Structure 1
């Protein structure tokens, strides 16, 4: 059976769309990372019987931050922030998104 895979912007939107498109017949399960659910139902797409799968993205994968010495807003001239280095970090390391 063919699969039609759809990704929504937020988990709540994925659930709402899946319920609407499936006429409230979708089943839901946690995805492999445990953070985002996968909603599934069967139906017709372009004349073929298919399995629909709807999921979502979950938050931010990466974040960009200033090193520690630039985090005290009372001691740093804001102009320095335009040229100082930045650190790229995994936003939520326990979500296994990366």
Structure 2
């Protein structure tokens, strides 16, 4: 898939991170699944060509930071899952 950096950002945020949101707000996902989803997001973001991996120029932890801190506001799936569950727990109280 040939997308610009902006296109990859939109696809990642609007589709890949939004699809599991409902299940994450109801259930705590296993840590291994969260790491697998993060790995898929990283692989898509950095891309590959004919099976060869490309260099990751910025650590994923830095990409999950807010924009004012120099990040790109990608979600850390495990922390996002916990935040959604905490939000549901707050509504119940």
Give the alignment's TM-score, normalised by structure 1.
0.29
Higher helix share: 2
Give the alignment's TM-score, normalised by structure 2.
0.30
Higher relative contact order (CA 8 A, sep 6+): 2
